[in-house]
Each structure stands twice: as C-alpha cells, then as structure tokens.
A and B are shown apart, each in its own frame.
Chain A
C-alpha cells in the first residue's frame, strides 16, 4: 500500500525530474552561473523593477478620460513610448513565467511547508497580486483585449452577491464607460505594486541575507534582450474596445488571460469555482505536502555545554533560525549561547559546518556524528595516496556512477555539502586518501541557499570552522556544478585524480585529535 507521503512525494518527484531535465539543457547552453532557471525568483524581481521604471514613464501620458487615445499617443513615439510600452508588457509576461517556474521548483523540492510555509503562502498571494496588477494594466489600454478581459472579470465579480448593481453593466453600452472606472483601475494598477513590495519583504523575511537581484551579468543580459525585442517587435496596437461589436479573433496574452476562453465557454459561476478551487489548493500546498511527523527531519539543536558562544552558527544560518541568548546556567566560556528556534529550522545542517567545537546540528548529524561516520568509512575502505574521496551533495549530482566508477575514486555522499565539517576532510586525508574532491550544487542552486558559499570560505578562506592550515590545499578540490554540468565535473575529477597520482601523497603533521583540536573547550570525545 502506498502511503499518502509517498504519493505526494511521487508527484513532487515527477515535477522535479521534469524541471531538472529543462535545467540541464539550460546548463549546457548558458552554464550554471548564468542559468536563468536558477535565478527565477530574483529574475522576477528584476522584471518587476523594469516594469516600475517603464510604468512611471507611461503614467506621464495616460489619461483616464481618453485611455485609448492616450495609448495611441504613446505608441506614436517610435523613439520611446512604443518600445517602452512593449518592454513593460514583455517584462510583465516574463515575470509571470519566472514566478511560475520558481513556484514549481519550490513545490518539487519540498520547499513549501514547515518553516517555508510563510514564503509559500506569501508567494502565492504575491502571484495573485501580480495577476490583478496585470489585469488592471490590460484594461487600462481599453482595446479589444481589454474588452474581453474586462467583461469576463466583471461577470466574475458579479457572482459575488455584494453589488446592488452588476459591474458588467459598466460595459453594457447604455452609458459610456465612465472616467471614474478608468481612474479606479489606474489607482489599483499603481497601488498594487506597493502591496507587492510589502509581500516581497514578507516573502523573504525568514531568510538571512536575501538576494534581491540576479548577478549583474545576467541582469544586464535579461534587460538588454527584452529591450531589443521590445524595439524590434513592439506589441501591435489592437482596435479600440467597442461594446457594440462582438470581439472575434483577438490576440490574447495567455500569461494573464489564459482563463478567458474557459470563462467564455463555461460562464461566470464555473469560472469563479475554478479560481476558488485553484486558490484553495495552492494555499493549502504547505499542509498537503507536509510529510507525517515521523518522516520529517528534526530541527537542529545546540549542546550548550559545548557551545563557546562564538556566534558563527548564528551568522551562517541561512534561515535566521539561530539566536544568541543569555545562558541559563552561567559558564566561563561565554555569556551568550546559541539557541535554535525549531519552527524556523529547515534541518539543512549548515550550522554543523560552522561550529568548531561541534556543538550544534540536527540530531545524529553534528560534527561529531560526521567524524564518527567518516572514521567508519575510512575503516571500511582501503584509502591510499592514489585514492580520491569524492564528497558529493545528494541535493545535487549525488552519487553518480559516471563519477564514482572512475578509477581510484571513492564516493562519499553527504546530505548537503554545506553541512560538511572541515574536520571530516582532514580526517579522510589523515586516513591515507591522496585527495578530497567536493562536488557541491551550483552556487545559486543550493537547496539550502548558502551551502557551497560557506563551504568554500571554510575550506579556502579561513571562515570558521576553517580547514586547518596544516592541510595541504592542493589535496582538496571544490567544484560547484549542477546536474547538467556532469561532463565538466567528471573532467575536473579525472584531472584531479591524475594530479593526486602525480604527487607522492601529502604529509600531515603528527597525529591530532581532531575534536579537541577544533575546540579550546574540554569536551567529550566520540
């Protein structure tokens, strides 16, 4: 019998496989650092920024008493208004595309429930606000497409038993559509982005160091490409809305108006039911996808007698799940001690790699547990100076046979490379391995946001808990690669294996107790 959990996981996994296949194609073309699919959320924000700037320009020419002629005037500016309007539209479409992909990726990656519930729910409300903003934008133009959308939206609103006079009467034609209607519409179109800004803040409020925009190169490329397209192919001007003419073939923006044919065919009540069910389902995803308690990963915890109050885990946690609080039992080590807020912890284990004395981490995944596992691994495998231990992140390429079967390579999968304690690297080298090759996810595609970044700093830039100076860095290679970059990762691994073989092994000084060496505290040894 298939449990509810596995059914849900199967759906998410199927979506995940489809997404990874598309990402792999994009990786091959753009390379992971410039793959826009790894930057879908921030790309949407960039596009919102473009819409704000172009929208401000168009606002100067808009008139609520003559909306259509105002847009005609704007389109007559071949040197400005025409392509600025097109850029506004293209950005709006691309933003919705980016948001849709972002949501799917979060859904597939199981990043929608627990501590991420707020981000998911606010993200869905954000998407709703974007749709509303888009609809008001289309209606502003008052062309045949606006007429189609406006009439169907009015019919939808009329399903609510709150208006004494149906909104659709605005478009009946017995009276001209009043300026007050276009004023209200304009007001919404301008006010909604303010709400979007607040929602964006809420959406990222549980993240430490939220990234708002894509890397500069990608941002420039996206802006330039959209501008070029807007200049080369401005949106055609459609005929003015005429409520006495039935709209025939009308070019419809499927991003914002995908529902129009459905609404026309099935009527406002079925249409309203569609939005109601879709909204309820999307908002309920965190509760639908949440695994049973027994299957959830446990949050991190701090062993207070080991904690030295250095605050490194507090600085590194990507989800602001750790606070420094006064100790309940006073200690000479420090006045403050780290404390995890379980409701905010996603159990990524990144704090494990932060803690030199190995006093924090999810149950059975602290630095001490990692060391114990690494010892068992070393005991079970014959490590010699020609062996390369491949630490590979299960969230990324994982234990790929194409890599693991390389001669002299022993695969050591880890849950998140960012949670790897540097002492484990040293232990493996001390156990005889000639080299350590760490394969993390692409930097911008870490399931836990900052794993590869912190690991790289710990290994090569002395960030706490740093890899000790005594470890020859030539024996350690860190490669950030996405699933689509397997061939490149394989090449780098074979090069590294050759390099390691070319060396006569690395020498590490006398035996060191890695646990006590990492800590000035008196601690229990595992």
Chain B
C-alpha cells in the first residue's frame, strides 16, 4: 500500500515535471532589450525605362526576312539607381541598385536597415538614376535622348534631423502618392497618416 502511494506520488511528480519542462521550453525567455535604433529605407520603384529607336533603311530592311520586317528597331533599358546614405555627415551606405529579374526589368526595391545609436541624427539620403552602360557608340541624338531620360527619371533626396528612440525603427519611404521620401514610424502608421 505504502509502496503504491509512493509510486503514484512519483508518477504525479514526474508528469508535472515533464509538463512543466515542456511548458518552460515552449516559452523560453530569449533575446535582450535592444539598445540601438534603426533607420530603415524601404521602398519600391517601378522601372524607369530608356528606349532608343531608329528607323531602318531600305538596305537594312532587305536583310531581314519579310515576316520579321518592322520599320523601327528599338533597344530598351531599365535604369539602375545609386543610393547613398550619410548619418551625421559620415557616409554609411553606398550602393548601386540594378533592377532584378532575368531581363533586369523588374521594379527596383530598396530595403536597408541601418543600426544607429539612439538620439537625434542628421540623415542625408540620395537616390538617383544612373545612366545605363550601352554597348557601341551612340549618335549625338541618342546620347541626348539617354541624358534626357536619366534627367527625367525620378530622383530623391532626404536631408533632415531625425530623432531615433531606442528599440524603434524610423523608416524613410514613399508614401501613397507623395513624390518624396517621408518618415514613417509606428506612431504615424497607427495614426494612419
């Protein structure tokens, strides 16, 4: 009888121990309180295209099979962009972003997280198109066309002092139809602005 009691008690204790261990491992305190803040750059930009076309001459057309003849021949590029970020006057990131995809024609995206000391920082961001590397010589008219396309493409810059509370992310992004980079954080997101 006594032995049975001991055994039952051991069973209860062992089961409780096992379950307790399972529960503990299922919610193990992990991680540490972050002492830094993050400047996030996140946006998406549909490709800015450059297209160079020229009319085919009679001789050029004659060299093409009849069913493939078109009056114009075009070459097209999606612009790459250069991104540079400086914090308190010190350059912290410079990158050239090429459009993804097999044909390099997918929208560009930016997604950078930069860890910063909490506090106010002077942030400078430059996001500008880069002229495509084109094989072969361009006629003066074509060179002008490319330069015009690059000049017309979207360019962005941000200059300003931002306050970074600890463990918080402040993001620079395009918001809605706004044409410039704006700051978004959880407060502005919650306010729906």
Residues of chain A touching chain B, judged by Cβ–Cβ distance below 8 Å, are 26, 28-30, 89-90, 93-94, 97, 148, 164-166, 168-169, 172-174, 221, 225-226, 229, 233, 235-236, 242-255, 257, 260-261, 264
Contact = CB atoms under 8 A, between A and B. Distances in A.
Contacts of A229: 19, 23
A507 to B, nearest CB: 39
Interface stretch (B87-95, B106-114, B127-135, B146-154): B106-114
A63 B167 CA distance: 29
Interface stretch (B36-44, B61-69, B71-79): B36-44
Interface residues of B, number: 43
A235 B169 contact: no
Given A248-B34, A249-B32, A250-B31, A173 B184 contact: yes
A172 B43 CA distance: 9
B140 interface: no
B168 A245 contact: yes
25 contacts: A29-B11, A90-B26, A165-B106, A166-B109, A169-B109, A169-B111, A172-B42, A173-B169, A173-B189, A174-B171, A225-B19, A229-B19, A235-B26, A244-B168, A244-B184, A246-B36, A246-B168, A247-B34, A248-B34, A251-B27, A251-B29, A251-B30, A253-B25, A254-B26, A254-B28
A90 B32 CA distance: 25
B186 A93 contact: no
Interface string B142-184: 0000000000000000000000000111110111000000001
Contacts of B22: 90, 93-94, 97
Contact of B42 (A173, A225, A247): A173
Interface string B11-23: 1001100010011
B7 interface: yes
B34 A251 contact: no
B31 A252 contact: yes
B136 interface: no
Contacts of B174: 174
A252 B100 contact: no
Given A97-B22, A168-B111, A242 B186 contact: yes
B35 to A, nearest CB: 10
Contact of A165 (B11, B30, B37, B109): B109
A207 to B, nearest CB: 28
B164 to A, nearest CB: 11
Contacts of B29: 249, 251-252
Given A173-B184, A252-B30, A244 B169 contact: yes
Interface of B: 7, 10-11, 14-15, 19, 22-23, 25-34, 36-38, 40, 42-44, 100-101, 106-107, 109, 111, 167-171, 173-175, 184-186, 189
Contacts of B34: 246-248
Contacts of B26: 89-90, 93, 235, 253-255
Contacts of A242: 186
A-B pairs, top 5 by smallest CB distance, nearest first, are: A244-B186, A172-B42, A251-B27, A252-B30, A248-B33
Given A251-B30, A252-B28, 12 more contacts: A94-B22, A165-B109, A221-B15, A226-B19, A244-B168, A244-B169, A244-B171, A246-B169, A251-B29, A252-B27, A253-B25, A264-B31
Given A173-B171, A252-B27, A260-B30, A29 B109 contact: no
B168 A164 contact: no
Given A165-B107, A254-B26, A29 B10 contact: yes
Contact of A246 (B7, B25, B167, B189): B167
Contact of B25 (A165, A247, A254): A254
B109 A90 contact: no
Contacts of B184: 173-174, 244
Name which of A244, A249, A255 has the most chain B CB atoms within 10 A of its CB.
A244
Given A172-B111, A243-B169, A30 B106 contact: no
B185 to A, nearest CB: 5
A245 B19 CA distance: 33
Nearest to A92: B26
B27 A253 contact: yes
Contacts of A257: 30
A261 B30 CA distance: 8
Contacts of B14: 26, 29-30
Contact of B23 (A148, A233, A260): A233
Contacts of B170: 244
Nearest to A250: B31
A172 B111 CA distance: 7
A515 B168 CA distance: 84
A251 B31 CA distance: 8
A94 B111 CA distance: 38
A26 B171 CA distance: 55
Nearest to B9: A29
A246 B40 contact: no
A30 B11 CA distance: 6
Nearest to B105: A164
A174 B43 contact: yes
Contacts of A173: 40, 42, 169, 171, 173, 184, 189
